[in-house]
Structure 1
Amino acid sequence: MDKTYIEGASVTRGSGTEEYGGQLALWGVIPLWRAAPPPDTVLTLRKPTPSDCWPFSGSYGEILIELTRNVQIKAISLEHIRPDSARSAPKNFTFYGILENGTWVNVAEGEYNGKGPAKQYYRFNWSLPLKKIIFRILSNQGNTKYTCLYRVHFYGK
């Protein structure tokens, strides 16, 4: 795995979430060019720069984050580039942990402050180890066309 990514994690877009930009294909079949970065861009460790995000259509969407092993997560951070001027930044969100038996548990919810620092931290209110996490964005800072996710990082043991 590329060392610029969080080791042992993968990201896929959630059900009903459409990438903004998507792919261009020859005859609708042969992929020619990817207009949007892949969802795992949110796990990169590099400092975000403009357009170094995963965009999805509208203001509501989700990603599924899978870890290679169970991890006891204590907090998460969301980071956006220049949040004070970015209407595409997430606003209200919820994190769900998925237990071994498939049960969804609400482990964190919050609001990304569009006038706050670029990187903002949120505590998890769950102490059991998790292997799968759903990050659901409920709204953004006002962009009706798309939302841009720059970085989502986890902290724990």
Structure 2
Amino acid sequence: MQAIRRSDRIRNRNRNNSRRFLENERVFEAAASLPNLHMGGDGNILLDEPGTFEAEINPNIGDFIPNDQGNAALFEEFPRRRLNCRSCILASLKLMIIISLMNALLFSAELLAPNGYIAKQQIISTFLSKSHNYNLENLEAYSLKYSTDKLIRINKQIKYLNRKLRLLAKALKESKKWREDIKNEMKAVKNETLQMSFNQVEKFNLKIEEALILYDADKVGITDYALESAGGYIISTPETIPFPSRFSYDLMGIVNIQYPSNPRLLIQPETLPGQCFAFKGSQGRVRIGLAHFIDITSVTLEHTYPSLVDDISSAPKDFKVYGLLSANGEEKHELGSFTYRIEKKTLQSFPIEKVHKQRKGYAYIELEIITNYGSLKYTCVYRFRVHGNRLV
């Protein structure tokens, strides 16, 4: 019984396959009789005109399978200049293939229905015409959408570039204006300089010349109220023995008289080697009358250049300054204690601090040398200056 049933099933399957094969042969004959169709050598139905639909008939299973080789001819009919994006074309092609597959299923169902030969011809022609028109409409819609999007992007880029150009033009204009302003200012300064009067130039020259003369005369550029030529004078040298100077006098060739060192050299501008007030030992005092009644602000002590003398040990080191209320020095106020450094410059100034000022002004001053730099024979002081503000 099982062998009989198996034999019946095989017989029925062969009968069905034969029926499907006969139906496919009828489709080929119908396609061959159409004016715009011809049979391909590989079993495909081909159209002579561009833009046709191509289908493949599988004689084994009787299915109707769309083929995209025929659909590719549709793009030759539509202007390709409007399609500049390959991705847009591929997307449209995929969509059309999907729609064609759906239509092909319906088409195959109608085609295999038990209708007459003429009805099947009309079905094929109607289907191909609809597919052709539908694909053209979709291609045109996608092309217009892509072109519109691209134009929008290009328009945005143009607006952006125009905005940048406007900013650049504005910056260039401001730069040009700034350049003109600088140029005008330079011209104005040049004109003001050229318009300076000859008298003003002469005044500047006189001031410079006076400053140079003052510096050359006294080196510090500050008024020296102890200077002999300005009115200062030596009052006395209490408890101080002048050292014999280099100058001597022969009396009739028998007696050689040496002049003592003169304290006036302290308040004279010459500071050449040997032109100093020298006194015996390392301690000495000198009282000086000032040219005016002043508020003493500083004093200056000067020695000659070390390179011009053989022995520098006679230079003063520690000293004090007193303000005197009278010429005899009965009452005096200490103005400060100072140290002269021979390793520094030869001319050294020392300010008077306010804590040492017990009185507003003085007309007399006393210089007291306490130590020198090692000489036991004598101490040599070249120049002593007194600075301040004139009160009377």
> SS state of the match for residue 230, structure 2?
coil
Does residue 1:89 correspond to 2:315, yes or no? yes
Please say which of residues 65-74 and 136-145 is displaced more in the overlay: 65-74
Q: Shift of residue 36 of structure 1?
A: 3.8
Q: Structure 2 vs 1, CA of residues 67 and 36 (structure 1 numbering), >3 Å: closer, same or farther?
A: same
Partner of 2:272: 49
Partner of 1:111: 339
Q: Render the CA deviation track for 1:63-84: whole Å, top value 9, x for unaligned.
A: 0011243111111110001258
Q: Shift of residue 5 of structure 1?
A: 3.5
> SS state of the match for residue 238, structure 2?
coil
Q: Render the CA deviation track for 1:116-140: whole Å, top value 9, x for unaligned.
A: 1100110113262111111000000
Cα distance in 1 for partners of 2:244, 2:341 equals 26
Please say which of residues 128-137 and 6-15 is displaced more in the overlay: 6-15
Runs of 4+ in 1 over 4 A off after TM superposition: 22-27
Is the Cα–Cα contact under 8 Å of residues 250 and 257 in structure 2 kept in the other structure? no
Does residue 1:80 correspond to 2:273, yes or no? no
Q: Render the CA deviation track for 1:27-70: whole Å, top value 9, x for unaligned.
A: 9xxxx855344101111123x11001010000000100112431
Cα distance in 2 for partners of 1:13, 1:54 equals 13
Letter in 2 for 1:156: G
Partner of 1:67: 290
> SS state of the match for residue 301, structure 2?
strand
> SS state of the match for residue 113, structure 1?
coil
Q: Render the CA deviation track for 1:83-129: whole Å, top value 9, x for unaligned.
A: 58611110000001112594210002100012111001101132621
Q: Structure 2 vs 1, CA of residues 134 and 20 (structure 1 numbering), >3 Å: closer, same or farther?
A: same
Partner of 1:39: 263
Q: What TM-score comes out, normalization by structure 2 length? A: 0.35
Is the Cα–Cα contact under 8 Å of residues 6 and 45 in structure 1 kept in the other structure? no
Larger Rg: 2
Cα distance in 1 for partners of 2:248, 2:274 equals 18
Is the Cα–Cα contact under 8 Å of residues 62 and 137 in structure 1 kept in the other structure? yes
Q: How does 1:11-22 map to 2 (within 5 A)?
A: 11-21=234-244
Superposition CA RMSD, Å: 2.7
Q: Structure 2 vs 1, CA of residues 73 and 34 (structure 1 numbering), >3 Å: closer, same or farther?
A: farther
Is the Cα–Cα contact under 8 Å of residues 12 and 40 in structure 1 kept in the other structure? no
Q: What TM-score comes out, normalization by structure 1 length? A: 0.82
Gaps of 5+ in 2: 1-226
Cα distance in 2 for partners of 1:115, 1:86 equals 11
> SS state of the match for residue 323, structure 2?
strand
Cα distance in 1 for partners of 2:385, 2:262 equals 16
Cα distance in 2 for partners of 1:11, 1:52 equals 16
Cα distance in 1 for partners of 2:229, 2:322 equals 19
> SS state of the match for residue 264, structure 2?
helix
Does residue 1:99 correspond to 2:364, yes or no? no
Higher strand share: 1
Q: Shift of residue 26 of structure 1?
A: 8.9
Q: Structure 2 vs 1, CA of residues 7 and 102 (structure 1 numbering), >3 Å: closer, same or farther?
A: same
Letter in 2 for 1:142: G
Partner of 1:124: 352
Gaps of 5+ in 1: none
